[in-house]
Amino acid sequence: MNAVTGVKKTCFCHTCGKPFHCLGIARHVVGHHERGEDCEVTYTHGDRYHIPAPEWRKEIGRKRKKNG
């Protein structure tokens, strides 16, 4: 729990190695998908999921990386 805000971050993104509040993890996963990245997340109760990005997003992500 954060001593300043009192927010307990109970979810964890294994893709980038950061903890998240349960209400913010979904938007974080979308951020990975917007970059064409797959995401692996552990939710509050210990359920771990690999969430693949849609193929059309992966193609957009590859083009962005290539063009800088």
Sheet with 18-20: list strands edge to edge.
18-20, 11-13, 39-42, 48-51
Residue ranges of E strands in 1-68:
11-13, 18-20, 39-42, 48-51
Question: Binning pLDDT at 50, 70 and 90, where does residue 61 land?
Answer: low
16, amino acid identity: C
| pLDDT of 19 strictly over 60 | yes
* Tokens describing residue 32: 């990975």
How far apart CA 44 and CA 19 sit, in angstroms, is 11
The answer to whether residue 62 scores a pLDDT higher than 60 is yes
pLDDT of residue 1 exceeding 80:
no
At 57 the pLDDT is 75
